[in-house]
Structure 1
Amino acid sequence: MPNVVKKGLALDQAQKAVILIHGRGATADSILSLSSYLNLTDYAILAPQANGNSWYPFGFMKSDSGNFVALESSLKQIQSLFDEVLREGVAPENVFFVGFSQGACLSLEFAARNAQKLGGIVAFTGGLVGEKLKAGNYSGDFQGTPIFIGSSDRDFHVPAIRIQESADLLRQMGADVTVKLFEDPDHTIREEEIEWVNQHIFV
């Protein structure tokens, strides 16, 4: 698995795996540090690295055509990693995705394009990608997969209205979605989000 940083159990020894996806300008190592705050004792922990530290060049609600080539390449990179996890014997319902900012958007986008029963998806400040949401881009049934989306109620990069629209679409696809919007302007991961995720998803 090129460009993947690993922590925790080896894949062939783990029954559960989590894929951590970093934000724009960040690294696999930086998002991997988040794992220390999550209940991931018995997990294989995998963090892919984006080319040039970015999964796609423009904002997630900007030009579909401008983002298309890089986004498709990034989705294929995540698909390859997901396939590798399954080949090593981890069941899809025991695979989790965690992302921050651009990584949160990519996590949600990948999951919605391949909806199935997963362990859970944690999107710290993110929404589905596109100038406008197109239900035709997505297929499958989440079968109750828990999805958490947390963010500022006025994040500069991720508008609350897109978060809510994304949550509605994901619910229509069978996901159990929890959205928590915080009354601060910070583009960050909050302690309250970590606590909620540890109590409801990584249990």
Structure 2
Amino acid sequence: MTDADNPHLESAPVTLGPPAPQAGVVVYAVHGRGQSVSFMEDLAQRVALPDVAWVLPAAAGGTWYPEPFLRPVSQNEPRLGQAREAVRQHLAQVRAAAGVVPVVVLGFSQGACLLAEHLLDEQPPVAGAVLHTGGYLGPDEHAWPDREGALRDVPVLMATAQADAWVPMHRVEATARALAGLGARVTLDVYDDEEHHVNDNAVERIRGFLRRLSGGT
């Protein structure tokens, strides 16, 4: 597959904040199903940290893959593989641009599912991850082999509503266990909220998480 065959690579990610080499931390932030870059632009404004560089990719048609994330993975191909390749290429570019600046991945809903799958399967060298209302893909719970400890001691912030309409609690918990099994330091925040969104409490937690990684107080 060439880049021309991948609809998720048709447009370059939007960037916000300082240039990556001058930032305290770089955040690669992936939106959910039916959303656009504007969702993450709004989140960046709510987090409101001036030393954070944001890199915001856009899914073709607002959707990274077509079917619900608990369906068999094959039912989400080829679009899922294209989304995974877009994340792979984007993160390589972000890490190259950031240099020694820490890189964090952040996803909401379908974006969190995509990043959870990518983190567990590829175990990329990131400084941290925020997965809000998401878990790895497929109908069955399973484990991943540890690839040279790539995720060991990586802080991961997870958040979800107890009874989210789209992402069941059991898969969020299974994802937290899988990441912890690879050595990540996982914090899971479960709250009561009927809306499928990033609430103010989660924004505060994300802000604190990014401050710690950027060396802020």
Q: 1:193 aligns with which of 178, 181, 202?
A: 202
2:115 maps to 1:107: yes
Q: CA RMSD in A?
A: 2.0
Question: Does the 8 Å CA contact 2:144/2:178 hold for their aligned counterparts?
Answer: no
Aligned to 1:153: 162
State the identity as a percent. Answer: 27
Within the candidate set 51, 70, 73, 1:42 is matched to 51
Correspondence list, 1:113-128, <5 A: 113-128=121-136
| Change beyond 3 A, Cα 1:129–1:150 | same
**Which segments of 5 or more consecutive residues in structure 2 lack a partner in the other structure?**
1-8, 213-217
Q: CA 1:174/1:137 → structure 2, altered by over 3 Å: closer, same or farther? A: closer
- Maintained 8 Å contact 2:27/2:104: yes
Write the distance in 2 (CA, Å) between the matches of 1:5 and 1:51: 14
The within-5 A match list for 1:126-145 is 126-136=134-144, 139-141=147-149, 142-145=151-154
Write the deviation string for residues 29-71 of structure 1: whole angstroms up to 9, x where unpaired: 2212101122532222110001111000011111211113111
Matched residues in 2 for 1:23 and 1:125: separation? 10
1:56/1:34 CA distance change after superposition, 3 Å:
same
- State the aligned residue count: 202
Give the TM-score of the pair, scaled to structure 2.
0.85
- Mapped contact 2:25–2:210 kept (Cα < 8 A): no
State the distance in 2 between where 1:40 and 1:137 align: 36
Question: Unaligned regions of 5+ residues in structure 1, if any?
Answer: none
Q: TM-score, normalised by structure 1?
A: 0.90
Query: How far apart, CA to CA, are the structure 1 residues paired with 2:27 and 2:209?
Result: 15
